[in-house]
Amino acid sequence: MKRVLLGILIILHGLAHAASGVWLAADGPMWLVTLMWGIAMLGYLAAGFGILRAPFLRRSWKQTMVVATVASVVLFLTYLHPLGLLGSVFDLVLLLVVFEGAQALIDEDIAVVEAVGASGLPHPWLHRAGWTVALAFLVYAAAVVVVRPIYLGWGTTRDERIMPLPGDDPSINARYRVDHAITIHAPADSVWPWLVQLGQDRGGFYSYSWLERMIGDEVTNADRVHPEWQQREAGDTIYATQPGYLGGTRFGWRVTSVVPKRALVLENWGAFVLQPIDSSSTRLIIRTRGEGKPSVVGLVLGPLNVFVMEPAHFIMQTGMLRGIRERAEGAHYHIARG
């Protein structure tokens, strides 16, 4: 039981590191922060799964935990923050507790498993299922660490990520940043009508509506511009769901600013900005900014954000960008031919 509790504690400690990748991304070179963060988080996960006797991980759990601890301490000492310093202390205490108080017990238990195999354990199918899930999650977590810097800035240039845009709030130090963009071969005037009619009760979101309907969200994507949906102003709500969705309040985003034919800014989502390239091409940029300050709530919700919300948001938002491009270019082509 002691071994199991320690394994679970180390896994939870690894998951707690998910939030640090969000908080520290703006403090240094993305590749360096991601490297140290990834080694620390994945190392703790691998060590915890190894202590729980997962194949391929149980023989090297000690070395993996040492590497994870070094990477975590270096990360937090390089980018100082009170929560980070507290985390470094916990790193070292956890390492000491495991190595001084439980190392022999863990090694002895692992030696037994190595000798008898999974078939010699009670409920072998349950152990195999648990180990399979652990290894699959570790592979998924590693993939997220590798591709996260890519999907946080998908389609954008460095200049676009740092240039001021409508919706930027100069009063906050935006540490959390997501920028997505796409080139549309149509003038901005032809793209704007598709943005204005965003919403569950209007033109939908031009993304994967079948995924939205799988979770009960009744979204239908429009394939033409509707004149009756061409009015938006600050204070309006762009609804994400139908009334009574999941028995709760209708969810949506409040429109905070409208710059006609240029920008639509939504609270808690970001700015949809049209940047003309020339008379027949436009860049559509979607920028999300947030304070991204370390907090206890962020620490708890970090794994959900990094492993679920961000990938899902990336899939749906890039689908939206492609959907808007397809519709705007198609409409412009037919108008030009006509």
Which secondary-structure segment (H or E) carries 253?
Answer: strand 252-259
The count of other CB atoms within 10 Å of the CB of residue 61 is 26
Given this model, what pLDDT does residue 334 score? 61
Could you tell me the domains of the chain?
2-151 (no CATH), 158-337 (3.30.530.20)
Do the Cβ atoms of 176 and 298 come closer than 8 Å?
A: no
**Structure letter (DSSP) for residue 167:** T
Q: Is the dihedral of CA 129, 133, 139, 140 positive or negative?
A: positive
Rounded to whole angstroms, how far apart are CA atoms 320 and 95? 46
pLDDT of residue 324: 98
Tens-level pLDDT at each residue, the chain (338 residues): 678 888 999 999 999 999 988 888 878 888 899 999 999 999 999 999 999 989 989 889 999 999 999 999 998 888 766 667 788 888 999 998 888 877 877 877 788 777 777 677 777 778 889 889 999 999 999 999 999 999 999 999 999 999 999 989 877 788 899 999 999 999 999 999 999 999 999 999 999 999 999 999 999 999 999 999 999 999 999 999 999 888 877 899 999 999 999 999 999 999 999 999 999 999 999 999 988 888 888 889 999 999 999 999 999 999 999 999 999 998 766 665 55
Q: What is the DSSP string of 22-51?
A: HHSTTSS-HHHHHHHHHHHHHHHHHHHHHH
| Alpha-carbon separation of residue 102 from 5, 107, 145 (angstroms) | 11, 9, 30
